[in-house]
A and B are shown apart, each in its own frame.
Chain A
Amino acid sequence: EAGVAQSPRYKIIEKRQSVAFWCNPISGHATLYWYQQILGQGPKLLIQFQNNGVVDDSQLPKDRFSAERLKGVDSTLKIQPAKLEDSAVYLCASSLDDTRGSEQYFGPGTRLTVT
Chain B
Amino acid sequence: KQEVTQIPAALSVPEGENLVLNCSFTDSAIYNLQWFRQDPGKGLTSLLLIQSSQREQTSGRLNASLDKSSGRSTLYIAASQPGDSATYLCAVRQQGTYKYIFGTGTRLKVLA
Give the size of the chain A interface in residues (CB under 8 angstroms): 25
A86 at the interface (CB under 8 A from B): no
Q: Contact partner of B43 among A41, A55, A109, CB < 8 A?
A: A109
A72 at the interface (CB under 8 A from B): no
B4 at the interface (CB under 8 A from A): yes
Known contacts A56-B97, A100-B31; A44 and B102 CB within 8 A of each other:
yes
Q: How large, as a class, is the contact surface on chain B? A: 20 to 34
A82 at the interface (CB under 8 A from B): no
Q: How far is the CB of A95 from chain B (nearest CB, A)?
A: 9
Known contacts A40-B104, A108-B42; A100 and B93 CB within 8 A of each other:
yes
B-side residues, CB < 8 A to A, are 4, 31-32, 34, 36, 41-46, 49, 51-52, 89, 91, 93, 95, 97-100, 102-105
